[in-house]
Amino acid sequence: MILQYKTRISLTALLLSGMIAFAGCKDNGNENPIRPIDPTVEKDTTDVLMWLTKGDRSVLLKQQKVSLLFKDTLNVYPTIKVDPSQTYQSIDGFGYCLTDGSAMLINTLPADAQDALLKELFLPDTAHLGVSYLRVSIGASDLSVAPFTYNDLPAGQTDVDMTKFSIEKERKDLLPILKKVVALSPNIKILGSPWSAPSWMKTNNASKGGSLKPEYYAAYAKYFVKYIQAMKAEGITIDAITPQNEPLHGGNNPSMVMQANEQADFVKNHLGPAFKAAGLTTKIIVYDHNADKPEYPAAILGDAAAYPYVDGSAFHLYGGSITALTQLHDAYPEKNIYFTEQWVGGPGNFGNDLQWHVSTLIVGATRNWSRNVLEWNLAADANYGPHTDGGCTTCLGALTIGSGVIRNVAYYIIGHASKFVRPGAVRIASNITSQLDNVAFKTPDGKHALIVVNSGSTPQTFNIQYNGKVVTTSLTNGAVATYIW
């Protein structure tokens, strides 16, 4: 994570709204707020189902008992026109980064509470959140207790053949949680990202900063192959990897700098060929950093030898504009776009964070061709731990786990998409009007989902137009709704 960017983006979003709150984002504690579809709403009383979250937390991802009927009647309200005939990218999923620390905290819960929480998060049905995409760190992230990799050696030793490679350190927390997740959601997509190569491969022989020595490019490619194979042996399929988390930021702990020309060299001459030789179908997604440097992934995709090995590019938004994703898509339309990380800075402001993240990421990233949206850490404790010495000290988890479980704003940000827009959904056309930021999808079961956030300063009544008819609905300022028909 780039802490200076995180601070700037978080404060900017809050200052624009005119207030910064100093209260945490809590819901009703340990109770699961997700409920199945209410049959009394569905029975001949409405054409459109509506789930709502308000910025004041008075309503949290709750189905509304309202009658929303499509009519021919015209009115003066602004209209969001949904056009399923115009299609864009397919969706891989919505979710979180399951950090080593998140897994550790979930693993501290009593067995029945842990089981209930994992079902709430990952079961892919209408009664649960349906998280469908996870990012895990390959080795430690900065939200681990301490830095580690899967091939740490005493000073002066090397292991280019990876004979000492081991994921043993993950057996206590991450692997048990991941296995339970996969059992609940067998088709969940998992992306692996390293924060650093083993220190003995690096120019500074340290977990923080430094670069990968060229003489260890082949060894590091073998490291990735071993990782994917080891996880597969545990029953966990790694769908994709990125060669380096935030490759232009060497100030985190752990971290590693990898310039665009270095990543292109690593992918085309080592990682891609190593995957091919091992028969791996794991996707290689490049960059995995801020939208202010789209020229970085463009340089790799512009390399004719690297291009065939690359599935697409991943972005964060601690700098730059979300529209940079479309800039890269337009230059390389056959390559995919992913959005793989955004933090919520603690203690946070629920209403401001809800509006900014839904508008900028759930709506903004997908309208700019992203196949997924991932919030940062799934869980932290009340003190934003665990984290390394030098890691993020104010990263608010989607969950705060202590004596119980508190659901914070990122839970609802993702829930408004993950619960309804299942993998295989396709984004369809919809217009943005009157500060009603929105994105529409056709779901795999043939339904339509429209996510709307009222980014204005006053409540708004508006229409949803589909197939020549309109439904009229309202949202208070800052509120988010998902509409299904």
Give the per-residue SS3 of the chain: CCHHHHHHHHHHHHHHCCCCCCCCCCCCCCCCCCCCCCHHHHCCCCCCEEEEECCCCCCCCEECCCCCCCECCCCCCCEEEEEEEEEEEECCEEEEECCHHHHHHHHCCCHHHHHHHHHHHHCCCCCCCCCCEEEEECCCCCCCCCCCCCCCCCCCCCCCCCCCCCCHHHCCCHHHHHHHHHHHCCCCEEEEECCCCCHHHECCCCCCCCEECHHHHHHHHHHHHHHHHHHHHCCCCCCEECCCCCCCCCCCCCCCECCHHHHHHHHHHHHHHHHHHHCCCCEEEEEEEEECCCHHHHHHHCCCCCHHHCCEEEEEEEEECCCHHHHHHHHCCCCEEEEEECCCECCCCHHHHHHHHHHHHHHHHHHCCEEEEEEEECEECCCCCCCCCCCCCCECCCEEECCCEEECHHHHHHHHHHCCCCCCCEEEEECCECCEEEEEEECCCCCEEEEEEECCCCCEEEEEEECCEEEEEEECCCCEEEEEC
**For range 175-197, the mean pLDDT:** 98
* 362 or 38, greater pLDDT: 362
In order of 205, 388, 432, the CA distances from 425 in angstroms are 45, 38, 20
Q: Residue 74's pLDDT band (boundaries 50, 70, 90)?
A: confident
Q: Is 84 a residue whose pLDDT tops 70?
A: yes
Mean pLDDT of the chain: 93
Measured in degrees and rounded to the nearest 5, phi and psi for residue 259 equal -70, 165
Length of the chain: 485
Spatial distance between the Cα atoms of 61 and 63, rounded to a whole number of angstroms: 7
92: nearest Cα among 187, 164, 229, 185: 187
In the set 246, 262, 295, 375, the catalytic residue is 246
Q: Give the domain CATH number at 68.
A: 2.60.40.1180
Q: Does residue 50 fall inside a structural domain? A: no
Q: Is 38 a residue whose pLDDT tops 90?
A: no
Q: Based on the residue annotation, tell me whether 341 is a catalytic residue of this protein.
A: yes
* 40 or 363, greater pLDDT: 363
447-456 pLDDT, tens digit per residue, is 999 999 999 9
For residue 316, give every residue at least 6 positions away whose Cβ sits within 8 Å of its Cβ, in sequence order, or none: 2, 246, 288, 289, 290, 291, 339, 340, 341, 342
Q: Does residue 68 fall inside a structural domain? A: yes
For residue 273, give every residue at least 6 positions away whose Cβ sits within 8 Å of its Cβ, in sequence order, or none: 221, 309
The answer on 241 and 155 residing in a single domain is yes
Q: Is 29 a residue whose pLDDT tops 90?
A: no
The answer on 169 and 80 residing in a single domain is no
Please give the angle made by the CA atoms of 423, 1 and 400, to the nearest 5 degrees.
70
Angle at which helices 111-122 and 174-184 pack, to 10 degrees?
50
**Cβ proximity of 261 and 281 under 8 Å:** no
Max Cα-Cα span within the chain: 77
The answer on 439 and 294 residing in a single domain is no
Specify the pLDDT at position 125: 86
Q: Residue 37's pLDDT band (boundaries 50, 70, 90)?
A: low
Q: Does residue 346 fall inside a structural domain? A: yes
Specify the pLDDT at position 87: 98
Q: Does residue 34 fall inside a structural domain? A: no
Q: Residue 35's pLDDT band (boundaries 50, 70, 90)?
A: low
Domain assignment of residue 456, given as a range = 62-86+431-484
The answer on 149 and 67 residing in a single domain is no
The answer on 246 and 123 residing in a single domain is yes
Token representation of residue 174: 């991450």
Spatial distance between the Cα atoms of 483 and 181, rounded to a whole number of angstroms: 27
Q: Which amino acid is at 249?
A: H
Q: Does residue 282 fall inside a structural domain? A: yes
Spatial distance between the Cα atoms of 481 and 243, rounded to a whole number of angstroms: 36
Q: Does residue 45 fall inside a structural domain? A: no
321-330 pLDDT, tens digit per residue, is 999 999 999 9
Q: Is 39 a residue whose pLDDT tops 90?
A: no
**For range 265-270, the mean pLDDT:** 98
103: nearest Cα among 392, 380, 342: 380
Q: Does residue 116 fall inside a structural domain? A: yes
Q: Residue 32's pLDDT band (boundaries 50, 70, 90)?
A: low
The answer on 372 and 322 residing in a single domain is yes
For residue 291, count other CB atoms closer than 10 A to its CB: 22
The answer on 227 and 99 residing in a single domain is yes
The answer on 240 and 134 residing in a single domain is yes
Q: Does residue 47 fall inside a structural domain? A: no
Q: Is 16 a residue whose pLDDT tops 50?
A: no
**For range 123-133, the mean pLDDT:** 94
Specify the pLDDT at position 17: 35
The answer on 203 and 329 residing in a single domain is yes
Specify the pLDDT at position 73: 87
**For range 220-234, the mean pLDDT:** 98
133-157 pLDDT, tens digit per residue, is 999 999 999 999 999 999 999 999 9
Last residue of a domain, one of 392, 407, 423: 423
Specify the pLDDT at position 6: 42
Q: Report the number of distinct structural domains present in the chain.
A: 2
Last residue of a domain, one of 404, 423, 442: 423
Last residue of a domain, one of 396, 423, 450: 423
The answer on 449 and 398 residing in a single domain is no
Q: Is 23 a residue whose pLDDT tops 90?
A: no
Residue in this structure with the two tokens 């340990």, named with its chain if needed: 30
Spatial distance between the Cα atoms of 128 and 66, rounded to a whole number of angstroms: 21
In the set 120, 170, 341, 375, the catalytic residue is 341
The answer on 467 and 418 residing in a single domain is no
Token representation of residue 37: 């579809």
Q: Give the domain CATH number at 280.
A: 3.20.20.80
Measured in degrees and rounded to the nearest 5, phi and psi for residue 210 equal 75, 175
The answer on 148 and 177 residing in a single domain is yes
For residue 460, count other CB atoms closer than 10 A to its CB: 21
